[in-house]
Amino acid sequence: MAPSVPPPPPPEQAQTQARGRRTGRADPAHQQRSIAALLLAVLSLLGLLGVSNFQRGVYIVAFALVAGVLAIWFGGTALARTRRAGTAGPRGSVAAIVIGSIGVLLSGLLLLGFALFGKQASTFSRCLSGANTVAAQQACQNQFIHSVEQVTP
């Protein structure tokens, strides 16, 4: 008697297993988590575009930082949960992690800039709001550059 040998898997399944890809679709809950992460990541970058007023800029940048961190967290947990379940990764989770990381990096740099030069930026903003001519705006710029040069070595 010859030992029974199981039949080979279908060609499509064998190729998928050979490449190490996960089979099946992502769970809808994980897909929704991934979409939320992507939306938060885009919101993080779009929030940075709204930094035109230095007085409110710190709050907008802090919001962008929190949105970016949440995007990274949601995207990472969506990927981890689908790996544990053995299903395909949800679409957009890697993009959310990348875009969210860019948002966190830029937000962090802007917050550092606000911390170092917040007083000078606030003075510059007030000066520009009262400058009605090009010459007055140029004087505000010169004053800002001079005040920043005094702070930096």
**149 falls within a domain:** no
Residue 16 confidence (pLDDT): 47
Written as six digits, the tokens of 32 are 């929704």
- The parent domain of residue 43 ranges over 28-116
Express each pLDDT in 50-100 by its tens digit.
777 677 788 899 999 999 999 999 999 988 888 887 777 788 889 999 999
Residue 18 confidence (pLDDT): 43
Contact 51, 57 (CB under 8 A): yes
Measured at the CA of 100, the angle between CA 97 and CA 103, to 5 degrees, comes to 155
Query: Using CA atoms, how far apart are residues 139 and 47, in angstroms rounded to an integer?
Result: 30
**42 falls within a domain:** yes
Split into its structural domains, the chain has a count of 1
**64 falls within a domain:** yes
**128 falls within a domain:** no
**95 falls within a domain:** yes
Query: Using CA atoms, how far apart are residues 34 and 92, in angstroms rounded to an integer?
Result: 6
Residue 14 has pLDDT above 50, yes or no: no
Written as six digits, the tokens of 95 are 């993009």
**96 falls within a domain:** yes
Express each pLDDT in 100-111 by its tens digit.
999 999 999 999
